[in-house]
Structure 1
Amino acid sequence: MLDTIISGAIEYAQTMSHWETTAVLLGVAYLVLAMRQSQWCWYAAFGSTAIFSWLFFDVSLVMESALNVYYLAMAVYGWLAWRNGSQESPDLPVQRWGIQQHGIAIGGVVLISLISGWLLTNNTNAALPYLDSFTTWGAVLTTWMVTRKILENWLYWVVIDAAAIYLYIDRGLYLTAVLMAFYVVLAVGGYLLWRRDYQAQQASPQAA
């Protein structure tokens, strides 16, 4: 299995799409900038997702293609949300969810993934419909969490990106699979950085 993946990756690298390379580089830029809470992350996100929308549709990952159209809208919304913050805090602060909010969020993702996976199985020729649905709906939720600077978004990304690795290897998008593996590592770093900022906020006189 490992030999097959490695040989496939080498063969693919020789004919790799320049568009996929560009999308991957912009995707890495987005995540690194998001870790630093930089507004520029949303510009990188818009460019990356515009390219991926077409790439995923071309390899029959219907839900992933639709997800990237959603990402385009969220890139615009995220830019506005981070820029405007709120009346109380012009710069949007890092926030946390309680156990109940997480329970509702996770339960909702699992339920809607089962429904859309079943619909795709019975009405389309989509590849890996249940896994495709899970990574899609999980990412829909988690992307919105990023726009609101919910700390735990990074932990959600670890799970989603890890699941997406298999999805992309199965579809022959080896470079994108490598990107997802890199994302898992960066998501851990993002969580640690945002947690540090959150703790600093809580310790500040204004938070007291």
Structure 2
Amino acid sequence: MEQLLQDAAANFSWWEASAVVLGIAYLLLAVRESLWCWYAAAASTAIFLFLFWDVNLVMESGLQVYYLAMAAYGWWQWRRGGNDNNPLQISRWSLRQHCVAISLVLVAASASGTLLSLNTNAALPYLDSFTTWGAVLATWMVARKVLENWLYWLVIDAISIGLYLDRGLYLTTLLFVVYIVIACYGYWQWRQHYLQTHN
């Protein structure tokens, strides 16, 4: 534990700290269904794009470009994506939709993991690919206000913790521990809101 703390202190970065704070702000605002979450997401994402590239997490770096686009899309969807240009409401997916979505993530992760392992020096290419494609799906679910997005994030965030520890991104690892707690709370909060509006 002492060595972990020493490594974290040696690798401390104000950029990483800023991205972490903005990432937490994004999730807390998303739990409250606040449009401001998308501004925090865009700022955090822009910083992480460069941080991940710097430590050879190629897929994670590329994911940040997608996140930037999704910040704009999510803002628009939450503001005008509902019926008659009203704010978007929380919805749920069927079991069939989940099975299709998970299958697509596994196929995409396998394909990109293989390509990365054969053609690049990417670190942990299969785990990097799985968390990336899972995050692509889960972020789209957040933008569409699909309740189960929070459950997907629990799995993705738990795996990401190992990925970031391996790369020495200790503040980002801590961020993802916090994300797990917030995802549990987010699911509970959105589920309460969903039940109130669908009874």
Identify unmatched segments of 5+ residues in structure 1. 204-208
Paired letter, 1:73: A
Number of matched residues? 199
Q: Provide TM-score, normalisation by structure 1.
A: 0.93
Q: Show the 5 A alignment for 1:42-191.
A: 42-88=38-84, 90-191=86-187
Displacement after TM superposition at 1:91 (Å): 1.2
Q: For the aligned residues, what is the CA RMSD? A: 1.1
Runs of 4 or more above 6 Å deviation: none
Consecutive unaligned residues of structure 2, counting only runs of 5 or more, are none
Looking at structure 2, the residues matched to 158 and 102 of structure 1 have their Cα atoms a distance apart, in angstroms, of 15
CA contact (8 A) 2:11 2:169 kept: no
Identity in percent: 58
CA shift for structure 1 position 15: 4.4
Structure number with bigger Rg: 1
- Secondary structure (helix, strand or coil) at the match of 2:188 reads helix
Comparing 80-89 with 24-33, greater Cα deviation is found at: 80-89
Post-superposition Cα deviations, 1:159-203, rounded to whole Å, max 9, x if no partner, equal 000000000000000110011011011101000000001001101
Q: How far 1:12 sits from its partner (Å)?
A: 2.2
| Counterpart selection for 2:35 from 23, 30, 39 | 39
2:199 is the alignment partner of 1:199: no
**For the Cα contact (< 8 Å) 2:11–2:168, is it kept in 1?**
no
The C-alpha deviation readout for 1:88-112, integer Å capped at 9, x for no partner, is 4601000000000000000110111
- Partner in structure 1 of residue 9 of structure 2: 13
Give the residue type in structure 2 aligned to 1:189: Y
Counterpart of 2:198 in 1: which secondary structure? helix
